[in-house]
Each structure stands twice: as structure tokens, then as C-alpha cells.
Structure 1
Amino acid sequence: MATGTLRGPDMRRMAQSGREASRGGVELAARVGYASRAVVYAVIGVLSLMLAAGEGGRATDTRGAVEEVARQPFGSVLLVLLGVGLLSFAVWRFVQAVMDVEGKGHTGKGMVSRVVLAISGVIHASLALFAFNLLRGRGGGGGGGNTRGMTAELLSKPFGQVLVALVGVAIIGFAVYQFKQALQGKMLEKLSLTGLAARQRTWVERICKAGVVARSVVFLLVGTFFLQAAVQADPGEAGGLGEALGTLASQPFGPWLLGLVALGLVAYAVYQALEARYRRIATS
């Protein structure tokens, strides 16, 4: 055998090293991605809290949160970090959907879960692109305008009202599913919390549940907006997260309602930070 030729054991070790590096890269992408989502929801929650308290602030969505990050000192650097983090999360979602690393399977329920993960990947890739476009001075419109534009496009199609209604039903179904997951504490099953004291685990459970419930309430409103747009054939009735928070603020006792949901969104940000730190990441 010629000098320098790789033997079988050497090739197996190289292949094993490559697989370990790939798994490590996927895990890093997931953890960085969850941390980036924590930043986005923390910004949304804090701005909503400020609005509820009459201290400025505003009701905004994920794009508005990215824009807020861009306005901070060293905003360009922060945007790069956030954009890379959101893109990393999109990669993690695509790995979950395509490679089925969490064993969703090919049953009807499993395929629905994987499609939802893929959609989440597309959404976060789009948000990352929005962040990078802000760096280039090409920010584009906010979430509400984007949502209404998409709704108008759907309404222009054959059976457009039915399509918009299906989107609304899907979002409401997702909200109900998340709410049920929160009540059952399912979101905690993938967190490795064995190192925490019982008291700490109790608080983690409460914070995570409150966060998922608050986000479910917001998505329930968003789904309702789509149903209203479908019934009235009016894209102006559609709205995203920012419009949902604004609607809460405009209700009787609006500041209290908004403040409660805003605290929940901050709790959701904490939950995402906990996922970045404690989630068990399946990579194969």
C-alpha cells in the first residue's frame, strides 16, 4: 500500500469526526437560534409593557423588534448578530423538518408537525433577510403591511376567501394546540433541568407556561383577524402580532390587558433563553 494512503480505520475515524462536527454545528445553530428568538420576544414584550404603562413604547411585531434593535447603539453589529442567529434558527427548523431528528415520523400528525416546522424555518429565514436588508438600508414594510399584502394576494386568487379563512383556522388551531401544550407542561419535556433545585424548577415551569399561554392568546387574535378578512373580503381586516397587541390596548382595561400579555411575552423570551441553555438537541 502506498505511503499516505488512508486505511479503513482512518477513513472511519474521519467519517466519525465529520459526523460529530456536523452534529455540533446543528446544536450550535439551534442554541444560537433560540437565544435570538429570546431577544426578539424580549423587545416586543418590553415595548408593549412601556406602552401599557404610558412610558412610550409601542405595539409591534417581530420585524418591528428587529428595527428596534437596529436603532440601538452599535445597531449594525447587533443586527448582524441577530440576523445570523435568526438564520441559524431557520437552519435548525429545516433540519427538524427534513431530517426528522426528533422522530415526528410519517404519520398524519407527524407530517403536519414537520410542515409546521418547515413553515417556521421559512418565517425565520425571511426575518433574518429583513435584518440583513436593514443593514443595506432596504428595510421594507412592517409586519402589518406585510400581512395585509399577503392577505390581498390570497383574496385575489380563485376561492380567495376560503384560502384566507383556512389560514385563520390554521393559526387558531396552532394557538389552541400551544395553549393545551402549556396547560400540560409539554414544553418542559425537552429541557434538561435535572441540575436545578426543586424551587427553581417550579419557577421555570411557571414562567414557561405563562409565556406559551400569552403567545397563544396573541396568535388566537391573529387567526381571528384572518377570519374577519375572509368574511368581509377585506385585507385591511388582517393583522399580525403588532395589531393583536394594539387591539388588546384598545379594549376596556386595555393597559391592564396589554400589560398582562406583555409580561407573558417577556416570560416567553425567558423560555426561549432557557431552551438555548437547557434544551436537549437531537441531531441524528
Structure 2
Amino acid sequence: MNENEKVRQVADSADAAAQEAADSRWFERVARAGFIANGLVHSILGATAVAIGLGQGGGEADQAGAIGQIAAQPFGMVLIIICSLGCALMALWCLVNAFFGSASLRGAGTRDPQHKQGRRQWIDFFKMVGSAIAYVVVAATFSQFVFGGGADSGKSSAQASTTVAKAPGGLFILMAVGAVIAIIGIAFCVNGLRRKWKDELRRPRGALTRFLVGFTGVVGYLGKGVTLLAVGILVVVSAATGDPEEFTGIDGALKGMRDQPFGPYLLLAVGIGLVLYGIFLALRSRYDRMD
């Protein structure tokens, strides 16, 4: 056996192992904890937004603030470690499936994006990669509390946007990033109203559970979508005005929403939507097909 054949054999073995991991039921079951962890963060974030809308302060309305509230509870650090591992495993599951599992481009039949089947496979691939990135961010935020005691995410967002703005064409890059975030927010709203997420779930047997999944899904997607839209608009505005340090992440976007006409009512609605999105994610941990 020559060197090339040995390399090919090792590559084939690694590929087979990755595909086996993608199809592993145990891997899938453990990774479902990521849905619950992400749902918990969204529910606390939504409750904080509701408190701010009611004029009760509420603290930092972002992921770091939500996780900080978890850390302050009895056994909170244990829960944070479990949530961090769950999100990390969910991110890994998404990546494995993007490259080796059901969303792999190798199973498209064609790699031509103009072909319907190929285009569908490209969409599934990028959705999996995008989900992996989202869960990596949440896992990293949890991990900051495990290893570094948390962080001021608003300050971090301002520093990151300022650093990007100093690069050549940085303000245009920030505007493009903001536009992409806003488009994703609009997509969340559209998917919520069209209930596209139903294709990714198993049908619950009980009528009450089906109603709860449907209701939390629609309202939750709208709450999440409006939040992302607000963040995207804030990024675009801060870049367009040449003042990127004004971008302070989700917290700044939600508190900026409160200061608009009818803002407290809108913030209340968005907060309730985020709470329901968290509940939807918890239900999704049970009913998502993950195939």
C-alpha cells in the first residue's frame, strides 16, 4: 500500500466516523440540551425586557445579563456549566450534520445552486452552519461566566464595532453587517407567520401541546425577529452617523426601542415574544426531528 492509499484510507475512516457521529442517537439526545439552554437565555432576556418596558429597571437586556441572573441563583454555576456544554454539543452537532449528515452538500445530487435540489441543499447547509455559529456564541457567553466571571457585553459590542470601523472601509462593513442582521430578523418574522418551522418538528400527539407549540412558535419567532431587526437597524445607524461606539448590542437596541413613541408597549410585546420563544425552544428540544 503506497502513501496515497494510506492517506485515502485514513480519510475514509475519518469520514465514516463523522457520518456515524452525525447519525448517533445518543449524540442527538445530549445535544438537545442546547435547545433548553438557549431557551432559558431567551426567556430571561424576555423577562428583563418586560421589566424595562414596565419601568422597573430590569438590568442588562442581553445574553450576558440573562446568564448573569442564572449565575446569581443557588447552584447557578452548575446550571451554567451544563448549559455551556449543551450549547457546545448542539453547535458540534450542527457542524457535523452540515459537513457529513443530512445537510451535507454531498447528498444534493447536484452542486448547481440553480437546480432546485441543489439550491435546497445549499440552504440547509448554510442554515446548519449559521445555527452552529449562533450556538457557539451562546456557549462562549456561558463559558465566560465559568472561567472569567462574565463580561460587559454592551461595552464589548461597542469596542468590537469601533475596531471594525477603524479598518479600511470599516463603516461600510458595519452597515453591511447591520443590514444582514436586519434581513435575518425579517426572515424570522416571515418564517414565524408562515410557520415554516413546523416542517422541522414532529407533530405532538396532544391537542394542547400542538396549540402550545404553534402559539409559542409564531409569537416567539416574531419577538426574536423584531429584536434582531432592532439590532440591525442600530448597527446601520451607528455606522451611518460615524459613531460606532454607540452600538451596545441587544441591550442598547431594546432600551433604544423603549425610548421611541409607544416604545414601552412595543418593548413589552417583544419581551413577551422572547419569553415565548424560549418556551418554544424548550418544546423544540422534545419535538425537533434533528434528522
Shorter chain as denominator, the TM-score bin is: 0.7 to 0.9
Matched-pair contact (CA < 8 Å) for 1:34–1:276: yes
| Partner of residue 86, structure 1 | 87
Which residue in 2 is equivalent to 1:275? 284
CA distance in 2, matches of 1:20, 1:140: 32
Residue identity in the other structure for 2:102? V
For each residue in 1:72-128, what CA deviation from the matched residue of structure 2 results, as whole angstroms up to 9, or x when unmatched? Answer: 111221221121122122212322432352467555555465345434423432432
Q: Which amino acid in 1 is paired with 2:269?
A: L
Identity fraction in percent: 27
Structure 2 Cα separation of the partners of residues 273 and 239 of structure 1: 28
**Corresponding residue pairs, total:** 265
- After TM superposition, the structure 1 = structure 2 runs for residues 38-187 of structure 1, keeping only pairs within 5 Å, are 38-102=39-103, 105=108, 106=111, 108=113, 110-111=121-122, 114-115=125-126, 117-136=128-147, 138-187=148-197
When structure 1 is superposed on structure 2, of 57-66 and 124-133 the one drifting more is 124-133
Q: CA RMSD in A?
A: 2.6
Opposite residue 52 of structure 1, the aligned amino acid is G
Instruction: Report the secondary structure of 1:94's partner residue.
Output: helix
Partner Cα distance (2:130, 2:199) in 1: 23
Distance 2:141 2:81 in 1: 11
User: Is the 1:131–1:139 contact (alpha carbons within 8 Å) kept by the matching residues of 2?
Assistant: no
Contact 1:182-1:213 within 8 A present in 2 as well: yes
Cα distance in 1 for residues equivalent to 2:259 and 2:60: 11
Q: Contact 1:79 / 1:135 at 8 angstroms: preserved in 2?
A: yes
Q: What does residue range 12-31 of structure 1 map to in structure 2 within 5 Å?
A: 19=20, 23-31=24-32
Residue 201 of structure 1 pairs with residue 210 of structure 2: yes
Q: Secondary structure at the match of 1:189?
A: helix
CA displacement at 1:223 relative to structure 2: 0.7
Q: Which residue of 2 aligns with 1:3?
A: none
| CA contact 2:22–2:101 (8 Å) conserved in 1 | no
Distance 1:166 1:213 in 2: 23
Between the aligned partners of 1:273 and 1:71, the Cα distance in structure 2 is 22
Q: Which of residues 237, 242, 245 in structure 1 aligns to 2:246?
A: 237
Q: Which runs of 5+ in 1 are unaligned?
A: 1-14
